[in-house]
A and B are shown apart, each in its own frame.
Chain A
């Protein structure tokens, strides 16, 4: 006859672990609301108990499969017991409240980006009006001809982007702009240089094209084309570069924090700007593809449309989210 060792009751710690397992599985399947009030209290209690078990097992030198599965259980339970401090609302709330608030909070950097862009434009305009080859030097080879072609498009009221091709142009422009915005954002980490370069380059481009257009005497047609989408697209690029500068600045001078921590916090502050910019660029891409190239609309009409869009933009950015704004910015 074999003697069987009598079983004793499982230790309280072990019971806590099993209960935690049950609760976590239930929450994962049906959400936190499936727990009763008592169970919620239990969750906190068994979580702490299981945490103590894990610590003691490790101290004892045990590392086996049990410890690992307890580790995994704790890791799964942690976000349930401590919901993250950042609570983000719906897309709607983001657009109406969070993005405009973030824009206002980071206004200084955005103005800096605007300044760099404007200086670039000034430089580009001066360079090209003094010297016809300046475009080649400042922007790269082939640009002189490109600028000429862009100006020539608007001569003689020709239908340079016929209705047939507009969806294609819109898709291509939208995706290209979004890529540029992401690059402006990401390249900020390179000591802000990437974002500054992008701002200066695009500024130069605008300045140069303005002068070439003037030389061809098609100012009204050209700016009539640019205005409806430009009033959203240009601010979008400026904001995305500014977001990159926020990150770059944290990298260069993290203040009293560790560099990594500073960069991470700056990135979290800046990323809402990028998300909003993507949405702005979708709108700008649609306008640039379908509305801006229309030759059946006279420039004054396009300017009026541009003014209307710009007014909406500015109103949104100034007023959005103000009603609940706290005096301390919320990260």
Chain B
């Protein structure tokens, strides 16, 4: 899908909150699911309504039927115009379609989406939709660095990816720098960790996080490979230690955390 952009919101005290922006593709997926759901709800209402109708022949001649039709019209109106507003306000920026696509609406000032924000971003849909199928919206997303459509610009919101997968894996990662703080450093010369680039750090961290899901032989080979690269970057001789590769990588990350005072 191409590079996904990150956005960093800086809160009042300078705390940086990092999010990944949703791309056009995921937003259309969410839109598709939401539209299908709206259609199903409307269909359901029409069916329920017709079940209650006194008789479908001479539909317009019975007063109760007319009230029923009037009620159905109002409910359909609510489904069409109120669906997004109601969901985004009650589900903290989420809708069934957005959940399906793993997305969420957030305010760019870090606060949860409020009713008025939801009203604003959804009332603008009628303009975003022009001339057909969100033409204006897509153009805005394309030309805007934060992937905002007109509704997002007016309401001050962003649509970001929710990373559900990491949220569900606190225990089985096996190693985190948070546990690093509970285990003391291994004896020996301190490693010149400042030589590591962000890519090296990411490589080591990703391996450590995912290793338990790998088959044993793949895991061993990856450990050898990653450790070799790290050692090279640290200008250590290739078989410098007798310590296991995974242990080495753990120490590297531990060392980084310790150096940062974490």
| A residues apposed to B, CB below 8 Å | 5-11, 13-14, 17, 48, 51, 53-66, 68-69, 71-72, 74-75, 78-79, 82, 84, 86, 88, 164-165, 167-168, 170-172, 174-175, 178-179, 182-183, 185-187, 189-190, 194, 247, 260, 263-264, 267-268, 271-272, 274-275
- For B125, the closest partner residue in chain A by CB is A186
Contact partners of A189 in chain B: CB under 8 A: 124, 127, 150, 154
Across the interface, A56 reaches (CB within 8 A) one of B63, B81, B154, B261, namely B261
Is chain B's interface secondary structure helix, strand, loop, or mixed overall?
helix
Q: Which residues of B in the span 188-220 have a Cβ within 8 Å of any Cβ on A?
A: 196-198, 201-202, 205-206, 208-209
B16 touches A55 (CB 8 A): yes
A84 touches B177 (CB 8 A): no
Given contact pairs A64-B253, A78-B17, a sample of 7 additional A-B residue pairs in the complex whose CB atoms are under 8 Å apart:
A11-B262, A62-B201, A65-B205, A88-B114, A182-B126, A186-B127, A263-B153
The contact sample of 29 A-B pairs, CB cut-off 8 A, is A5-B183, A13-B262, A56-B262, A60-B256, A61-B198, A61-B256, A62-B256, A64-B202, A64-B209, A65-B169, A65-B205, A66-B177, A66-B178, A68-B166, A72-B167, A74-B15, A79-B111, A82-B111, A164-B61, A167-B67, A182-B123, A186-B124, A189-B154, A190-B127, A194-B127, A264-B156, A267-B154, A274-B119, A274-B123
B contacts with A, residue count (CB < 8 A): 68
Q: With an 8 A cutoff between CB atoms, is B239 at the interface?
A: no
A62 touches B126 (CB 8 A): no
B205 touches A63 (CB 8 A): yes
| B residues apposed to A, CB below 8 Å | 11-18, 60-61, 63, 66-67, 69-71, 73-74, 77, 81, 110-112, 114-116, 119-120, 123-127, 150, 153-156, 163, 166-167, 169-170, 173, 176-178, 181-184, 186, 196-198, 201-202, 205-206, 208-209, 253, 256-257, 259-262
Is chain A's interface secondary structure helix, strand, loop, or mixed overall?
helix
